[in-house]
Amino acid sequence: DWTMRAFREEEIAKIRQQVGKGKVICGLSGGVDSAVAAVLIHEAIGDQLTCVFVDHGLLRLDEAKTVVDLFRHHYNIPLVHVDASKQFLGELEGVTDPETKRKTIGRLFIEVFEQEAKKIGGADFLAQGTLYPDVIESVSFTGGPSVTIKSHHNVGGLPERMNMKLVEPLRELFKDEVRKLGRELGLPEIFVGRHPFPGPGLAIRCPGDITRDKLDILRKADAVYIDQIRKHGLYDDIWQAFAVLLPVKTVGVMGDGRTYDYVVGLRAVTSTDGMTADFYQFDMKFLGETATRIINEVKGVNRVVYDVTSKPPGTIEWE
Ligand code: XMP
């Protein structure tokens, strides 16, 4: 792709100019955006870059392994893998308000990066995979008064005391362009084609308070759902699909016993940039089969519902 080859060269020059001989620390989230940003910056400045993958305990099943494999083995880019799940889950305990969750997570990310920066003797820059839609959705809602819909974990600048400047080479790109750039940089198709995953992770797919038990249930249900989607060859037709664990228990029956367990919500949308989206029209047979598999394979769930809301008026994530 000619445009992306040119973009790559231009951005590499810009990064070198901005960074000079400085040190950069880059947070990886497991998503495509931060991975593409990291590979691009590594190409520009090599070992002036330190990549940090923060496991906040809010990741999907096997996420950490996928990311570590990609960086250490496919690219040979050094990666610091921080297990911060105790800290994140500890501070999120009892937090139910969506914006408070997001802000708590954003603050903790910064704290972890600060700690890691200290370990390498200080960093001058923090790199992030912020995209154009992240910037606008966090800032305002076009046409009306300025209203924050959601505080994206990686938008809004850094606390002043930090003394780090931001490097955000993808700030003008949309998702499909980031994927093109990722291919241009040689990222494996299986990684480039992955559905988007938000920085705050499963925290915003678990309305109400977050516990390790709930996260375990959610991770398993999500894995079954995605497995179903892949098996039916639907993954690439869908822009984003995931499970949500509702903070509600309902009554069911299994064998000749009564059950009282959680409800899982399934979400799948088509979109081009995440700014607007349509719910995906699965056939009912697929949904029925998926519900049966989730209830049979995931202990703690006895009911599954499908979200038929488009964006607007719904957002893609539930929080
Ligand atoms: P919403 O829920 O706002 O989501 O319709 C639009 C797209 O953005 C993703 N998203 C985030 N990504 N940090 C991210 O990196 C965030 O804080 C965040 N919040 C939402 C969401 O998964 C969807 O793809």
In a structure prediction context, what are the per-residue pLDDT tens digits for the chain, which is 319 residues long? 788 999 999 999 999 999 999 999 999 888 899 999 999 999 999 999 999 999 999 999 999 898 998 998 888 898 999 999 999 999 999 999 999 999 999 999 989 989 999 999 999 999 999 998 888 776 544 334 456 778 877 666 677 777 789 999 999 999 999 999 999 999 999 889 999 999 899 999 999 999 999 999 999 999 999 999 999 999 999 999 999 999 999 999 998 899 999 999 999 999 998 999 999 999 999 999 999 999 999 999 999 999 999 999 999 999 9
Q: Is 196 touching ligand 1 by the criterion CB < 6 Å?
A: yes
Q: Atom 18, ligand 1: which residue's CA is nearest?
A: 198
**Known binding site for ATP: residues?**
29-35
Q: How far apart are CA 84 and CA 193, in angstroms?
A: 27
Question: Rounded to a whole number, what is the distance in angstroms from the first to the last CA of the chain?
Answer: 36
H/E element, 52: strand 49-55
Ligand 1 atom nearest 197 alpha carbon: 22
Contact (CB, 8 A) for 82 and 112? yes
Q: How far apart are CA 135 and CA 173, in angstroms?
A: 11
Q: How far apart are CA 270 and CA 53, in angstroms?
A: 29
Q: Is 207 touching ligand 1 by the criterion CB < 6 Å?
A: no
DSSP label at 195?
A: P
Query: Which domains does the chain possess?
Result: 2-192 (3.40.50.620), 211-306 (3.30.300.10)
Q: Atom 21, ligand 1: which residue's CA is nearest?
A: 198
Q: Which amino acid is at 103?
A: K
Ligand 1 atom nearest 154 alpha carbon: 13
Q: How many CB atoms lie within 10 A of CB 144?
A: 7
Q: How many CB atoms lie within 10 A of CB 8?
A: 18
Which tokens in the block code for residue 270?
């088509």
Q: How far apart are CA 158 and CA 277, in angstroms?
A: 30
Contact (CB, 8 A) for 228 and 286? yes
Q: Which amino acid is at 136?
A: I
Q: Is 316 touching ligand 1 by the criterion CB < 6 Å?
A: yes
Q: What angle do CA 45, 47, 50 make, to 5 degrees?
A: 100
